[in-house]
Structure 1
Amino acid sequence: MHTLLPTAIVGSLPKPPWLAEPETLWSPWKLQGDALVEGKQDALRIAVQEQRQRGIHIVSDGEQTRQHFVTTFIEHLSGVDFEQRETVRIRNRYDASVPTVVGAVSREKSVFVDDAKFLRQQTDQPIKWALPGPMTMIDTLYDRHYKSREKLAWEFATILNQEARELEAAGVDIIQFDEPAFNVFFDDVQDWGIAALERAAEGLRAETVVHICYGYGIQANTDWKKTLGSEWRQYEKSFPLLQRSTIDIISLESHHSHVPIDLIELIRGKKVMLGAIDVASDTIETPDEVADTLRKALEFVDADKLIPSTNCGMAPLPRAVAFEKLSALTAGADIVRDELSAAYSL
């Protein structure tokens, strides 16, 4: 990855309307059996083509083969009963009916490795794959077996590490762990959250990312953000801990959020995947707006460590909007890259 300011997307892209209901989270599949397998691969191919065409450097699958960023992984594990459901509070924000942990959790076989191999065949560019982080996984379940958030998190961390090692062997260059729960459970983050995350990433040669967002796509998340005041300082709790962790890249929301940009100083030395595209709005950023967000960040992160990206996933957006936002991200990064090379050549 030798390009200055290589661009990336955090996670999802909208799925084609023939595969799943557009602009909907958890959208049910419209195909079944072999047609679904083929349809997912076709959608993944389109996602790769759109990213490449629009100048994205680090290519991902756009999460075309999964319904949800957490549960699709959990569905493949044993020890979790999806028929037995309980209502729990998710991220202290809203109630949801979730599956129950009824026994020891384990992974009988790889979950995403075949999809990752397929992604690897589509491009020679660096590829990134996202997995749910241990703390966010336990937050979407009712635990009847371990009766300890920490114990269950460690079990998940071990399982995630098995999956991550196989993804690396399949040719994945960057492995991302999604941990929105890091913006909520500050004591847990400090006590065992970072350690569990490091366990999930243990022994990997691939670069590792932790993505911490504020959530989007549902009313409960929007309402919660309204209570956070004019400055969102949640990152202040996790960033100093992550700065000392073994994780290589920290991914955060920036554009149109209320995150004070100087908080990035707290992760000085790490690579920063900076959200320069708002995923909660259909308005397409101008290249200048993107460039402006990146320039502000460059006061607190060295240019060779900045990865311009989206704030979060884009599944609920109209497809045309999401793809145009990718073009804006590229164009904005191009502006700043040109400015930097002009400055270097002086």
Structure 2
Amino acid sequence: MKTLLPTTISGSLPKPSWLSEPETLWSPWKLNNEALIEGKRDALKLSLHEQQCAGIDIVCDGEQTRQHFVTTFIEHLNGVDFENRETVRIRGRYDASVPRVIDAVTRPNSVFVEDAKFLRSQTDRPIKWALPGPMTMVDTLYDAHYKSREKLAWEFAKILNQEAKELEEAGVDIIQFDEPAFNVFFDDVNEWGIAALERAVEGLKCETAVHICYGYGIKANTEWKKTLGNEWRQYESIFPMLQRSNIDIISLECHNSRVPLELIELLRGKKIMVGAIDVANHTVETADEVANTLRNVLKYVDADKLYPCTNCGMAPLQREVARAKLKALSDGAAIVRNECT
């Protein structure tokens, strides 16, 4: 019997301190060679164990085998120069030193498939795997070859489709594409961003999701949020087209945000991963707080289409905080699940 209100997380969990520097994005690995391979697998198993102990229904790898949700995938592609970098503005918020696209981008080998097979071998629960979305990949690079955000996005979409099909074959139940850029470049999203995303999921039989949030709980993102006013209506620009798209699940940010929940009505009919856990602070939600968020969202989403989730990844948090937030998510969902049955 299918679980009502199945819980999941949007992607990352903190890495153990023996693998990389805690509470730090893009942290260098502390291990090398074979020790690093083994260490990543150990961290993946630990991340899975913590999700299962907390009662998370749809589990993932916690992104333990990658330094960053976008660049780790790009590192495995041809046509990208990581040595001679450029500084670019990421999503209009902060400057970062990024690799350069210098030739046609291709994927010589699968990137995450072996890790996904390993995760599949470790659990009988449904598994979800996150990939960067085409538009967010474009926004995390300097393009010296295509000189067109749209052309580069379409090339990435084809590559992502190759990877996604292999992940599906490896036993992944839900493939999620992370597209925080969708909350910034609204015209591009509607003109070609959603179409590129649909190209990335073309031919897949497993469920597909797109995660659109307001970012990790880092200073650049929290400062940006302060400029958005009393209502965050960015979703309003893109939800109508997403509702008509062939993406199965839309993942969005709700808890402790200023998103008017009635905007979710624009997605009526879609499955919704509702962010009921704030990743931008270290305060652990109570189960009742999670339950209240879910109850409010149920005004706009049918219970059989609601997936309680986190607002974004929890990589920058302390491990004990992330662990407690996982438990709060599970316990809060259980309260509302009981009310719905």
TM-score range, shorter chain: over 0.9
Question: Which residue identity lines up with residue 106 of structure 1 in the other structure?
Answer: T
Matched-pair contact (CA < 8 Å) for 1:25–1:217: no
Question: Which residue identity lines up with residue 136 of structure 2 in the other structure?
Answer: T
In the alignment, structure 1 residue 225 sits paired with structure 2 residue 221: no
Equivalent in the alignment of 1:192 = 192
Matched-pair contact (CA < 8 Å) for 2:291–2:333: yes
Report deviation, 1:137: 0.1
Report deviation, 1:64: 0.3
3-state DSSP class of the match of 2:31?
A: coil
CA distance in structure 2 between the partners assigned to 1:233 and 1:213 by the alignment: 12
Report deviation, 1:247: 0.1
Equivalent in the alignment of 2:124 = 124
3-state DSSP class of the match of 2:103?
A: strand
Report deviation, 1:96: 1.3
Equivalent in the alignment of 2:62 = 62
CA distance in structure 1 between the partners assigned to 2:43 and 2:195 by the alignment: 36
In the alignment, structure 1 residue 155 sits paired with structure 2 residue 171: no
Equivalent in the alignment of 1:344 = none
Report deviation, 1:220: 1.5
CA distance in structure 2 between the partners assigned to 1:218 and 1:307 by the alignment: 25
CA distance in structure 2 between the partners assigned to 1:179 and 1:190 by the alignment: 13
Structure 1 stretches of 4+ with a deviation exceeding 2 A read none
Question: Which residue identity lines up with residue 336 of structure 1 in the other structure?
Answer: V
Deviates more, 1:212-221 or 1:235-244: 212-221
Report deviation, 1:219: 1.7
Report deviation, 1:328: 0.4
Report the RMSD for the aligned CA atoms in angstroms: 0.7
Identical counterparts, % of pairs: 77
Question: Which residue identity lines up with residue 219 of structure 1 in the other structure?
Answer: K
Matched-pair contact (CA < 8 Å) for 2:165–2:204: yes
Equivalent in the alignment of 2:178 = 178
CA distance in structure 1 between the partners assigned to 2:337 and 2:121 by the alignment: 29
3-state DSSP class of the match of 2:41?
A: helix
Report deviation, 1:87: 1.3
Equivalent in the alignment of 1:245 = 245
Q: Normalization by structure 1: what TM-score?
A: 0.98
Equivalent in the alignment of 1:42 = 42
CA distance in structure 1 between the partners assigned to 2:49 and 2:125 by the alignment: 12
Equivalent in the alignment of 1:323 = 323
Equivalent in the alignment of 1:108 = 108
CA distance in structure 2 between the partners assigned to 1:297 and 1:266 by the alignment: 13
Question: Which residue identity lines up with residue 127 of structure 2 in the other structure?
Answer: I
CA distance in structure 2 between the partners assigned to 1:304 and 1:219 by the alignment: 36
Matched-pair contact (CA < 8 Å) for 1:93–1:220: yes
Matched-pair contact (CA < 8 Å) for 2:216–2:314: no
Residues 268-307 of structure 1 show CA distances to partners (whole Å, capped at 9, x for unaligned) of 0000000000001111100000000000000000000000
Report deviation, 1:237: 0.7
3-state DSSP class of the match of 2:106?
A: strand
3-state DSSP class of the match of 2:307?
A: strand
Q: Where do 5+ consecutive residues of structure 1 fail to align?
A: 342-346
Question: Which residue identity lines up with residue 167 of structure 2 in the other structure?
Answer: L
Matched-pair contact (CA < 8 Å) for 2:14–2:316: yes
Report deviation, 1:216: 2.1
Equivalent in the alignment of 1:203 = 203
CA distance in structure 1 between the partners assigned to 2:328 and 2:313 by the alignment: 16
Matched-pair contact (CA < 8 Å) for 2:218–2:280: no
CA distance in structure 1 between the partners assigned to 2:327 and 2:219 by the alignment: 28
CA distance in structure 1 between the partners assigned to 2:27 and 2:98 by the alignment: 16
3-state DSSP class of the match of 2:228?
A: coil
Q: Where do 5+ consecutive residues of structure 2 fail to align?
A: none
CA distance in structure 2 between the partners assigned to 1:19 and 1:55 by the alignment: 25
Question: Which residue identity lines up with residue 283 of structure 1 in the other structure?
Answer: T
Report deviation, 1:128: 0.2
1:283-302 matches, cutoff 5 A: 283-302=283-302
CA distance in structure 2 between the partners assigned to 1:311 and 1:253 by the alignment: 5
In the alignment, structure 1 residue 271 sits paired with structure 2 residue 310: no
Equivalent in the alignment of 2:144 = 144
Report deviation, 1:218: 2.6
